[in-house]
Amino acid sequence: MKREMITLDANEAVAQVAYRLNEVIAIYPITPSSGMGEFADAWSAQGIKNIWGTVPMVMEMQSEGGAAGAVHGALTTGSLTTTFTASQGLLLMIPNMYKIAGELTSTVFHVSARSLAAHALSIFGDHSDVTAARTTGFAMLASRSVQEAQDMALIAQAATLESRIPFLHFFDGFRTSHEVNKIEQLSDDDLKAMIDDTKVFAHRQRGLSPDRPSIRGTAQNPDVYFQGRETNNPYYNACPAIVQKAMDKFASLTGRSYHLFDYAGAPDAERVIIVMGSGAETVEETARFLNEAGEKLGVITVHLYRPFSVEHLLKAIPASTKAIAILDRTKEPGAAGEPLYQDVITALNEGFAKGTAPFEKMPAIIGGRYGLSSKEFTPAMAKSIFDEMKKNQPKNHFTVGIVDDVTHTSLDYDPEFSIEYPETKRCIFFGLGADGTVGANKNSIKIIGEETTNSAQGYFVYDSKKSGSVTISHLRFGPKPIHAPYLIGVGDANFVACHQFNFLERVDMLKYAAPGGVFLLNSIYSASDVWDHLPVEVQQTIITKKLRFYVIDAYEVAQKTGMGGRINTIMQTCFFAISGVLPREEAIEQIKRSIKKTYGKRGEAVVQKNYDAVDSSLANLHEVKVPAQATSKLTRHSPVPAAAPKFVKDVLGKMIEYEGDSLPVSAMPVDGSFPSGTTQWEKRNIALEIPVWEPSLCIQCGKCSFVCPHAVIRQKVYSPELLANAPATFKSVDAKFKEMPGAKFTVQVAPEDCTGCGLCIEACPAKDKSQAGRKAINMADQVPLRESESKNWEFFMGLPEPDRTTFAPTTVKNSQELTPLFEFSGACAGCGETPYLKLASQLFGDRMVIANATGCSSIYGGNLPTTPWSYNKEGRGPAWANSLFEDNAEFGLGMRLTIDKQTEFATELLKALSGELGENLVTDILQADQSNEAGIAAQRVRVTQLKDRLATSNDPRAAQLLSLADVLVKKSVWIVGGDGWAYDIGYGGLDHVLAAGRNVNILVLDTEVYSNTGGQASKSTPRAAVAKFAAKGKGLPKKDLGMIAMAYGYVYVAKVAMGANDAHTLRAFLEADAYDGPSIIIAYSHCISHGIDMRKGLEQQKNAVACGIWPLFRYNPALIDEGKNPLQIDSKEPTISVEDYAYNETRYRMLLQSDEARAEILMKQARTDVEKRWNLYRQMAEIEYKFGETKKTEE
C-alpha cells in the first residue's frame, strides 16, 4: 500500500492520529500542546470524520483540571476520549489521572513535554512534567522524533484498549512538537488495522449507564482499600507484552520496528547511554559516527517508561557493557537521583541480584541531567558523556550543556565537534517576526520534502518579544534521512540569510556560516553600495570565510507588489534560486502552486500580489563583489550601554546578543529573583517612525502620555532655570498647570524605545487650525531623529521628577506628571493592556505589590532578558511576581494577608514600645491619614524616624519592629491578569478572594480571548466573535463578570475603557485603590487577536462603548451607606449599531466572510444581548437604596 510522504510537525502528526481514533476531545490550551487541540477543533468544525465515520466532539474547558474532569466523565460513560496538554496543565490533571488509572480506563493523553515552573516559568521542552505524573499509574510511552510521535500515538491507542491501562504518550516540547520533518503518513486503513473494534465495544460496554447501573468512586476504609489497590497487578504485569505486541503488529504493517527499549550501536559496546526522547536520536547518531572510527558505543532508547519492564531493559543491554550513563531531561531536587536513573539503577540491581542481568560484573553507572527547557543537546555533548565513561572515576549526577561553576557538576565538551553529513544542506535564516520568513521556510521545507526525494527538516527559534522580534529558522535537507534534533552549529551553515538589515548590528550571525557558503542579505543598499554599510566584523567574516554574498531590496519589491512588510515569497524565491535544490523554473512553479493552495481562499488579489512578488524577485537579486579588505568604520553595537549596571551588562546583555548559553550557573540568581527596571537598558530601535511634538499646538491635556503602551512619550513640568543646559533641539513651552505657575512644560519621546504604534497621535485632540491633518504630535522617520532625540530624552530624564504632592492625580493631565514605573515592555506595538498597567504604576507604583497571572502580562512583564517594572529615584517601585495561572487571585490574597498581619504585628509592637519610642510618634504613625500622596509622604518621614530610633534600642522587640517598619507606609495590593485567568482558570480563586472581603485591587485586562497562546476563546469572548475553539463564531454570550462581582454587594466593581473615557478610567483606578475592601476593574483591552489596525485601538474602544456592548460603570458599595444606589452607569445609551463596531474587526468580519447566514444570526443575538444588558443595568441603577435603618430615619 502506497502511503503519502508528508512534511509537518509532531503536533500535527499526533493530532491527525488522535483525532481519527477518538469521539470526544476535551482540551485547554497550553504551549506547546495548543496546536494539537487547535487542529482537532478545526477538523471538527470542518466535519472531518474519525475512522468510525463520525465527527469527534471537541470542547474547550476552563482549565486542564476541568479538561481532565471532562475527559474522565466522558471515559467513564464509554467514549473514546483524549486530551492534549503539557507542563502545568499536566500537573493539574494528575488527580484525575490517578482516578482514570485506578478505574482501569482506556485512553491516551498526548503530551508535548515541557518544563515546570519552579524558579521560573518556561514554555520549552523537557521531561519535568511527564516524570511528575509517573506515579499516577498511567503507562508512559516516549517518542523521539516526528515519525515516532505519529507512530506511537497509534501504538498507544491499540495498547490501551487491550490492556485497559491509560497511556501518557509524550514527545519533547518544541524540539519535536514544533519540528517540521518528512514522515510517512499513516492511513485510515493503518489505523483501522491496529484497532480491535471488539475492544472498543468492550470499552463502551464498561461505560456507566442506567441500563446497566453500577457505582464508581466509592469511599473505602482500611479494611479493603489496600487489597483494592493491588487488584490491578495482573494488568500492569501484562502491559509491557501487550505494548510489544502492538509494536510488532505495527511493524508488520509499516516496516517500522519498535521495541520497549531499542538498542542501537556496536553489538559489543562497552559504553552505553540510556535515554528517552529526542536526545536519543542525537546519541544514536553520535555513537554511529564514533563507532565508524573504531569506538564501541551503544544507546538504548526508552520507549515504554511505565510500566517499567526490568526484564525488557536487561535484554536490551549488551553483555559487553562496562559503563552505563543514564540521561534525564529533568531535575528532582533532593532525590538520590533523577527518575530514569533511579528506575535503571533499580532494574540493574534487581537483575544482578537475580542473575538475569546480561553482564557478570556490574558496570559503572552514572546519571546526569541534560537539555532542561530545550537547552541544546548536541553530538558534542553526547560525545563528552561517552568520554566521561572512559574515566576511572566518571562523574555521577553530572550536568551537560552548561557551565556549572557553583557545584561543578558540568562536563566539558568540545563545541567544534560536529557529525553533520556533507551531503546535507544546512541553512539559517534570521527574520523579523511576522515578516513571513518562518512561514516561507516552513513552506520551503514542505516543497522540498514533498516534491523531491530529499529528506527535509525545519526548526524555528522565536524571541520572547511580542513585536519587533527576531526569528531564526534552521533548515536541513538532503539525500540522507535527518535525525538531528539540535540547531545548526557554529560554522556548519552552507547558507545564512539575514532578512532584516539592522540585525547585523545586533547578532553575530555569520559565525554560523561554513567556509565557502552563501550569505543573502535583505538590503536597502544596492550591491555596489552595501559593503560600506556593513559592520567591520561582518566584512571580515565574509572575507575570511570566502562567502558568496548576495543582496536584494526585498522591502522595495514588497512595496511595489503590494506585499507590505511581508517579504516571505520574495526571500523564498531567492533562496531556491541560490541554493539550487530545485531547478529555478521548477522552484518558482512550486512556490506559485503553494501560494495558490495556501492563499487562494483569501482571494485572487492576494494570490496575484504574491505571484507578482515571486516574479519580481530574481531580477532584484544581485551578487556583491567582495573587496579584499574589511574597511568599515561601523562596528556591531554592544547590546546594552556602558552605563548599565553590572548585572545588566554581564548577564542580561549576553542574553540580548544571543550569548546567554555561555552564562555559567553563578551568573543566575539563586532564587529566581531579578532586579527591576532593566528594559531601560535595551534600546530596541524598532520604530520606523516616531512622534514629533509641536509645542505651539499642544494643549497639554496629557492624553498622549496616558495612552502610550510603552511609556515612551512623557511629560514634565519644571522650573525654567533647568533649561540652561538643555540640548539645542530640546523643546519646551510655558506650562499650563496652575499648581506650578511660571513653569515650563515638555512632551518628550524616547526615540530608541518607541515602537511607532501611533496611538498617541490618535489620542491627540489638538489640530492645527490651518492644516487639519497636522496635530500637536505627528509621526516622522526615526532614523534622522535618533541621535538628537536620544540626547533630548537623556536630558529630559535628568530633569527632576515632579513632586507627587504637587499635582493631585485626579485629572488626566495631572496623572501624567507622575513617573511611570512600567516602561518599554516587549508587548505588541499598540497593546491595549499595558497603558492600564502603566497608569497603575504611576498612581501607586512606589507602594505597590503585584500578583500577576500567567498570560501576556506575565510575558511582557517578566520574560527575560529585560523586564519593564521599574523603580523611581528613591529606589522604590512595584514589587512583582508571577506564581501560576490558576492561583493568581489567591497568590495576591496571600500578599494581602502578609501585609495585614505584619501591620497588625507592627502595631502591637509600636504600642508595646511607645514608651521608648515616644507617644507622639507612635500616635502619629498609628493615626496617620494616608489617603493622599501628602499623607503617604508624611508617613514615610515618620517611619524613617521610627527606624532611626529603633536602631539605637536594646529592646529585642525593636529588632522585630525594625524588620517590619516599612509596612506601616500604606501598601497597595494588585492582582492582575487577563480574561483567561479571571473568567476561566482562575475564576474559582477570584471568586473566593472577592468574597473574602480583604483590601485587594483586581485588574482584569480583558482582551476577550486567550491572547498569549494565540487567540483561544474564553468565557469572556463575546457572541459572534471568531476565536480558536469558537471557529464558527461564539454561540453563547460573554460572561458578565462585572454583574457577578456586584452580586456580593461589598465589592467595588468598575468597567472601563481608556480609549472611550480616560478620565473615567483614572477615577475608577483611584476609587478602587481607595476602597477599603475588594475592588475589581474590568478593562477593555484592544488586541492583535481582534484583527484590527492597532492604531485604531482607541477608536474601537469608543465604538465598543458607543454601541453599548461595553457599558462603562462603577459600582461603589461606599454609596450604599449614604442611601444611594451604588451603581452608576457612566456611558450613554447605545448610539451606533453593534455592527458598526464589530465589523471593523477581523474576529467578527471573518465569520461574515465565511458563513454569512450564521454571522447574521449571531449578530442579531448580539444586538439582543446589548438590549437585554442595558435593560437590566438601567433598572439596576434606578433601584432605591433606602431600606431598614435609613428608611426609618427618613420616615
Output the CA–CA distances (angstroms, integers) from residue 913 to 514, 691, 952, 961, in the order listed: 73, 57, 13, 9
**Beta strand pairing status for 1127-1129 and 1113-1115?**
antiparallel
Tell me how far, at minimum, the Cβ of 41 lies from other proteins, in Å.
7
Q: Is 660 in the site for other proteins (CB under 8 A)?
A: no
Q: Is 858 in the site for other proteins (CB under 8 A)?
A: no
Question: How far, in Å, CA of 801 to CA of 819, rounded?
Answer: 7
Q: Is 1092 in the site for other proteins (CB under 8 A)?
A: yes
Question: How far, in Å, CA of 155 to CA of 252, rounded?
Answer: 13
Interaction with other proteins in 556-575: which residues (CB under 8 A)? Answer: 562, 564, 566
Question: How far, in Å, CA of 1174 to CA of 7, rounded?
Answer: 52
- Nearest-10 crossing angle of helices 584-599, 604-617: 160
Question: How far, in Å, CA of 841 to CA of 879, rounded?
Answer: 11
Q: Please give the distance of CA 1071 from its chain centroid, rounded to a whole number.
A: 32
Q: Is 1146 in the site for other proteins (CB under 8 A)?
A: yes
Q: Is 223 exposed, middle or buried (0-12, 13-18, 19+ CB in 10 A)?
A: exposed
Q: Is 57 in the site for other proteins (CB under 8 A)?
A: no
Catalytic (active site) residue 586: no
Measured from the CB atom, the residue of 603 and 669 that comes closer to other proteins is 603
Backbone angles phi, psi at 426, to 5 degrees: -125, 125
Q: Is 695 in the site for other proteins (CB under 8 A)?
A: no
Measured from the CB atom, the residue of 518 and 757 that comes closer to other proteins is 757
Q: Is 1180 in the site for other proteins (CB under 8 A)?
A: no
Q: Is 102 in the site for other proteins (CB under 8 A)?
A: no
341: CB partners within 8 A, 6+ apart = 326, 328, 367
Cell of 223: 479494611
Q: For the window 808-847, what string marks contact with other proteins as x by the rule CB under 8 A?
A: --------------------x-------------------
Question: How far, in Å, CA of 849 to CA of 852, rounded?
Answer: 10
Q: Is 1088 in the site for other proteins (CB under 8 A)?
A: yes
Instruction: Go through 408-447 and write b for each residue having 16 or more CB atoms within 10 A of its CB, e for each that does not.
Output: ebbbebeeebbbbeeebbbbbbbbbbbbbbbbbbbbbbbb
Tell me how far, at minimum, the Cβ of 772 lies from other proteins, in Å.
4
Interaction with other proteins in 739-768: which residues (CB under 8 A)? Answer: 767
Residues 202, 241, 606, 723: which binds other proteins (CB under 8 A)? 606
Question: How far, in Å, CA of 569 to CA of 587, rounded?
Answer: 12
Output the CA–CA distances (angstroms, integers) from residue 1106 to 134, 1064, 1142, 1166, in the order listed: 54, 15, 12, 15
Catalytic (active site) residue 443: no
Question: How far, in Å, CA of 636 to CA of 538, rounded?
Answer: 9
Stretch that binds other proteins, among 201-209, 225-233, 888-896, 1023-1031 (CB under 8 A): 1023-1031
Q: Is 619 in the site for other proteins (CB under 8 A)?
A: no
Tell me how far, at minimum, the Cβ of 300 lies from other proteins, in Å.
32
Q: Is 696 in the site for other proteins (CB under 8 A)?
A: no
Stretch that binds other proteins, among 184-192, 430-438, 497-505, 747-755 (CB under 8 A): 430-438
Measured from the CB atom, the residue of 598 and 790 that comes closer to other proteins is 598
Measured from the CB atom, the residue of 396 and 598 that comes closer to other proteins is 598
Tell me how far, at minimum, the Cβ of 1057 lies from other proteins, in Å.
20
- CB–CB of 506/639 below 8 Å? yes
Q: Is 1150 in the site for other proteins (CB under 8 A)?
A: yes
Measured from the CB atom, the residue of 1071 and 1155 that comes closer to other proteins is 1155
Question: How far, in Å, CA of 334 to CA of 534, rounded?
Answer: 51
Measured from the CB atom, the residue of 514 and 1026 that comes closer to other proteins is 1026
Tell me how far, at minimum, the Cβ of 472 lies from other proteins, in Å.
12
Question: How far, in Å, CA of 379 to CA of 290, rounded?
Answer: 10
Question: How far, in Å, CA of 605 to CA of 620, rounded?
Answer: 23
Stretch that binds other proteins, among 302-310, 420-428, 437-445, 622-630 (CB under 8 A): 437-445
Catalytic (active site) residue 1158: no
Q: How many residues interact with other proteins (rule CB under 8 A)?
A: 62
- CB–CB of 1045/1057 below 8 Å? no
102: CB partners within 8 A, 6+ apart = 137, 229, 232
The amino acid sitting at 203 is H
Q: Is 20 in the site for other proteins (CB under 8 A)?
A: no
Catalytic (active site) residue 1012: yes
Q: Give me the catalytic one of 23, 60, 64, 338.
A: 64
Question: How far, in Å, CA of 537 to CA of 769, rounded?
Answer: 51
Tell me how far, at minimum, the Cβ of 1119 lies from other proteins, in Å.
35
Tell me how far, at minimum, the Cβ of 173 lies from other proteins, in Å.
10
Stretch that binds other proteins, among 204-212, 793-801, 842-850, 1153-1161 (CB under 8 A): 1153-1161
C-alpha neighbours within 13 Å on the C-beta side of residue 637: 15
Residues 84, 170, 174, 531: which binds other proteins (CB under 8 A)? 174
Q: Is 1167 in the site for other proteins (CB under 8 A)?
A: no
Measured from the CB atom, the residue of 977 and 1111 that comes closer to other proteins is 977
Q: Is 120 in the site for other proteins (CB under 8 A)?
A: no
Q: Is 433 in the site for other proteins (CB under 8 A)?
A: yes
Q: Is 123 in the site for other proteins (CB under 8 A)?
A: yes
Cα torsion through 517, 523, 526, 529, rounded to 10: -80
Per-residue three-class SS string for 17-34? HHHHCCCEEEECCCCCCH
Q: Is 866 in the site for other proteins (CB under 8 A)?
A: no
Q: Is 943 in the site for other proteins (CB under 8 A)?
A: no
Report helix, strand or coil for 552: strand
Q: Is 471 in the site for other proteins (CB under 8 A)?
A: yes
Question: How far, in Å, CA of 40 to CA of 280, rounded?
Answer: 29
> Phi/psi zone of residue 570: left (φ > 0), alpha (ψ -120 to 50 degrees), beta?
alpha
Measured from the CB atom, the residue of 566 and 1038 that comes closer to other proteins is 566
* Cα angle 1155-1161-1167, degrees, rounded to a multiple of 5: 125
**Which letter does DSSP use for residue 826 in this model?**
S
Q: Is 1031 in the site for other proteins (CB under 8 A)?
A: yes
Measured from the CB atom, the residue of 310 and 1026 that comes closer to other proteins is 1026
Measured from the CB atom, the residue of 1063 and 1150 that comes closer to other proteins is 1150
Measured from the CB atom, the residue of 727 and 1014 that comes closer to other proteins is 1014
> How many C-beta neighbours within 10 Å does residue 659 have?
13
Stretch that binds other proteins, among 204-212, 623-631, 952-960, 1087-1095 (CB under 8 A): 1087-1095
Tell me how far, at minimum, the Cβ of 1016 lies from other proteins, in Å.
9
Q: Give me the catalytic one of 83, 85, 107, 114.
A: 114
Q: Is 467 in the site for other proteins (CB under 8 A)?
A: yes
Tell me how far, at minimum, the Cβ of 561 lies from other proteins, in Å.
12
Residues 169, 175, 329, 466: which binds other proteins (CB under 8 A)? 466
For cell 546519541, name the residue. Answer: 283
Tell me how far, at minimum, the Cβ of 686 lies from other proteins, in Å.
12
Q: Give me the catalytic one of 81, 679, 755, 1012.
A: 1012
Point out which residues bind other proteins (CB under 8 A): 31-32, 34-35, 38, 41-42, 45-46, 123, 174, 433-434, 436-439, 460, 462-467, 469, 471, 562, 564, 566, 599, 601-606, 609, 767, 769, 772, 828, 859, 1011-1015, 1026-1028, 1031, 1088-1089, 1091-1092, 1146-1147, 1149-1150, 1153-1154, 1156
Residues recognised as catalytic: 31, 64, 114, 1012
